[in-house]
Structure 1
């Protein structure tokens, strides 16, 4: 990954997202999802909930970096818990 001059955390972040997307693709192939309604006000599939979770996690990270003195791992921990809750009950 030296051609992009990425730092290790950046490369790890994008690699993790690629692995998650590949895993979701395999999961969808073997077990097609159906729309359901959880605590979100719309009917969603697994892919919808993953997209919403990744998007909200990005905004959470931006907020922590821009407006607080917290370490970025705090935002990462909250994001992992949030995406887990959203995927399960969202």
Structure 2
């Protein structure tokens, strides 16, 4: 277990990675049981659920990084920005 000591695991980190793993399982099951055709949205190229999920995660990471760089305050506010961003990506992208 000492090989993982550098990662500084906390329960918050474990919850985050569990959420990502659960999301990937749900997206996989949706792809199996309810396949979809790629659709073209505001991004200008066809995307699937998985693509929109990836863009949401990537955009949220940038929002958090910018929040920490510019403000450095409570991260709950950055989360409050990321949730509508992810909803918009799934709805319009």
Q: Within 2, Cα distance between the matches of 1:69 and 1:51?
A: 25
Residues paired across the two proteins, number: 90
Partner of 2:20: 17
In structure 2, the residue corresponding to 1:53 is in which secondary structure? helix
Deviation (angstroms), 1:5: 4.0
CA RMSD in angstroms comes to 2.0
TM-score (norm 2): 0.84
Runs of 4+ in 1 over 2 A off after TM superposition: none
Instruction: Name structure 2 gaps, 5 residues minimum.
Output: none
TM-score (norm 1): 0.86
Instruction: Name structure 1 gaps, 5 residues minimum.
Output: none
Larger strand percent: 2
